[in-house]
Chain A
Amino acid sequence: MVEMKDVSVVYSGGVDALHHVNLKINDGDFAFVVGPSGAGKSTLIKLILKEINPSSGSVLVNGYNLGKLRKRQIPSLRRTIGFVFQDFRLISSMTVYENIAFVLRVIDAPLRYINRRVPYVIDLVGLNGKADSYPNELSGGEMQRVAIARALVNDPQLIIADEPTGNIDPELSYEIVELLQAINDSGTTILMVTHEHSLVRHFGGRIININQGHVIFDEVVGGNLIHEG
């Protein structure tokens, strides 16, 4: 669960990134965050990951009060969040399996659990037979699936996907969102930042529109489920 109360962010250069934002994303929600570049979407994500601190207001993420969180507790917070980057950010020197297993290594999971969990997740995102491939041997869509598997593998409460379809073919974008929806169906909260209005219109759901640091729209909208790509 993410809860922001009266959150404002002013960067050191005097740039107002967010103004008195109030936002609540419940466990199990699937929400699209939309808005033009520079609207404050990235700032919102950085706040949730505690990469930055708000200038005022409070942020609660998965039971952590970020205002009171010490620096050395940040890893614990981030272990409850899975993150999917627009540019995948896979480690090029590691195979698909290692890229995913590595997250479990970070949390010091038992080897037996890793050996069971990683193949399961690879299967879940539809990458059977690709475990030993290196990222440069995969297509954009496949790389994003690996990234999603990596975000998913330690069973986080929340997955943040930052423009996950930005670097892949439009046709494959639908598959990626469908995959995220399937993950959401099993109870994981998903927050997906996107520019692609066609995707949002297609799938519908909760849409949070941010513009110039204000939440200007936050409602559940029905999708038309017709491919526009």
Chain B
Amino acid sequence: MKVSGFKYLVKQGVENIWKNRMMAFASFCVLLVSLLLVGVASLVYVNLSSMIGGVEDKNEIVVYLDDGVTDEEISSVKGRLDQIENISSVTFYSKEESFEDLKKSMSDYEMLFDSLGDDNPLIDAYRVQVKDIEKISDTIIQVESIEQVYSIRAPMDFVNILMDLRKIITVVCSVVICALVVISVVIIANTTKASVYSRRAEIQIMKYVGATNSFIRIPFFVEGMITGFFAGLLALIITWFSYDSLVDLMTGQADIVSVIGMNSIIQFGDVAWITAILYLVIGTLFGAVGSVIAMRKHLNV
């Protein structure tokens, strides 16, 4: 095919959008709504998972050391802890420090502490944060194998709840997103089918005058691509504005921030590129492929 011929077909595709504007508008709206539904559901999932991550980060294991460990032993334990891969940070928590904290937290029992005098019944410890909460059991086993470790306190109930919560959210979100994708594909397919059906006579005429299949397909492809691209673009703009307004609204509420933690809310800027690319690519692809698949059966003349 000559370049001029190709240009003509692309131009036809663009003109067809205007000529069939009602059907093009219907396809556009269906694509837009589908993209928004799937996009918003995905963003909700990403945020929920980030919030769980935020809570996970706050939780730590306390590693108690044997009573009367020497300074060398204390530092050698730190060295061993640093070598464990799943540990992200190690902070020393001396028995003096923990005694002070205990006194503060139980100020009503001051008398009791006074009676102890300088006798500190507590022991030195390390506060350890883990990277991946799911591997916490393995990490505990590794920590226990260190000689000077006396005992370990890990919030296992809390960890189990978090892990269950994460599983539930992942399953629920996956099901919702998959269902939305399937529903969208069915609706998009039917809208494009209806759009193409109204032009089947045109396709038939083209076949009778000896048009090749690609000659007939290219304008439909271009048309679907453009419609899909703009649906993706508008979906992006809508998502961006509403997401930013929602984040502003939430960060303005001190109560909400204190519960979920400021850092757990993902800023749109962090996901803008990936959202833009996914919206535009998926929009364009669904528009183009949907249009070509829908017209395929009319080509058999």
Contact of A77 among B2, B206, B210 (CB under 8 A): B210
Contacts of B208 in A (CB 8 A): 49, 78, 83
Report yes or no: B209 in contact with A78, Cβ–Cβ below 8 A. Answer: yes
B19 engages A93 (CB within 8 Å): yes
- Chain B interface size range: 20 to 34
Query: Which residues of B sit under 8 angstroms from A74, Cβ to Cβ?
Result: 210
- Judged by DSSP, the binding face of B is helix
Q: Quick one: given A93-B19, A103-B209, are A111 and B4 in contact (CB under 8 Å)?
A: yes
Cβ–Cβ contact B209 & A83, under 8 A: yes
CB of A31, distance to nearest CB on chain B (Å): 20
Q: List 28 A-B contacts (CB under 8 A).
A: A49-B208, A51-B301, A74-B210, A75-B212, A78-B207, A78-B208, A78-B209, A81-B210, A83-B209, A89-B201, A89-B205, A91-B201, A91-B205, A93-B19, A93-B20, A102-B206, A102-B209, A103-B209, A105-B8, A106-B206, A106-B210, A106-B211, A106-B215, A107-B210, A108-B1, A108-B2, A108-B5, A111-B4
Whether, in the assembled complex, B164 has its beta carbon less than 8 Å from a beta carbon of chain A, the answer is no
Check if A150 is an interface residue, CB within 8 A of chain B.
Answer: yes
Q: When chains A and B are docked, how far (Å) is the Cα of A94 from the Cα of B245? A: 46
A102 to B16, CA, bound (A): 14
Whether the Cβ atoms of A79 and B209 lie closer than 8 Å is yes
Complex Cα distance, B207 from A81, in Å, reads 12
Instruction: Give A residues with C-beta under 8 Å from B.
Output: 49, 51, 72, 74-79, 81, 83, 89, 91, 93, 102-103, 105-108, 111, 150, 154
In the complex, which residues 165-210 of chain B have their Cβ closer than 8 Å to any Cβ of chain A? 201-202, 204-210
For A154, what are the chain B residues with a Cβ–Cβ distance below 8 Å? 209
Extra pairs beyond A89-B201, A89-B205, A154-B209 (7, CB < 8 Å):
A79-B210, A93-B20, A106-B209, A106-B211, A106-B215, A108-B2, A150-B209
User: Closest Cβ of chain B: how far from A152's Cβ, in Å?
Assistant: 11
Q: How far is the CB of B18 from chain A (nearest CB, A)?
A: 9
